[in-house]
């Protein structure tokens, strides 16, 4: 039943991982390079520490973000992208291309028409 959209599960997994309110925002910042917890908090501006740590943990569990701690006083933590986090970027760019043209169309029409299948 689901063999036309291959591996529905994997796609659901991606949507779940990236679907949090702040995930893409966090990633967009980490694409500039590693950041500390406080730096992320400041750059996002309106996120609470609870949400930030939750989103980071999700991304880390998904293997997209890497967390490194340093035994300084006080402790410092750096978040960076994993290999998979980097390979995600061109994928997102691809999705974005589709999304941009979709949004333009949605804004310029009242109702979508069906695809012309001949």
Partner DNA sequence: CTGGATCCTTTAAGATACTG
Partner DNA sequence: CAGTATCTTAAAGGATCCAG
- Contact flag: residue 92 with DNA (CB under 7 A): no
- DSSP letters for 40-75: HHHHH-S--HHHHHHHHHHHHHTTSEEEEEE--SS-
Q: Which does 75 bind (CB under 5 to 8 A by kind): a second copy, DNA, none?
A: DNA
- Supply the minimum distance, in Å, between the C-beta of residue 42 and DNA: 8
3-state DSSP assignment of residue 36:
strand
85 scored as a contact of a second copy (CB under 8 A): yes
Residue selected from 36, 62, 74, 75 as contacting a second copy according to rule CB under 8 A: 62
Residue 29: CB atoms within 10 A of its CB come to 15
Q: Which of 33, 74, 90, 114 binds DNA (CB under 7 A)?
A: 74
How many C-beta atoms lie closer than 10 Å to residue 104's C-beta?
Answer: 10
Q: Which of 10, 69, 107, 108 binds DNA (CB under 7 A)?
A: 69
Residue 15 has which token pair? 């949507």
List residues near DNA by CB under 7 A: 19-22, 36-39, 41, 46-51, 53, 56-57, 67, 69, 74-77
């Amino acid at each position: 039943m689901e063999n036309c959209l291959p591996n529905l599960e994997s796609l659901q997994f991606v949507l779940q991982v990236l679907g949090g309110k702040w995930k893409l925002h966090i990633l967009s910042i980490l694409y500039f390079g590693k950041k500390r917890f406080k730096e992320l908090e400041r750059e996002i501006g309106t996120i609470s520490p609870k949400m930030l740590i939750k989103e980071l943990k999700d991304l880390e569990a998904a293997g997209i973000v890497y967390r490194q701690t340093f035994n300084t006083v006080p402790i410092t933590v750096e978040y960076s992208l994993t290999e998979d986090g980097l390979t995600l970027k061109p994928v997102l760019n691809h999705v974005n291309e589709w999304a941009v043209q979709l949004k333009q169309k949605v804004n310029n029409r009242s109702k979508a028409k069906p695809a012309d299948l001949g």
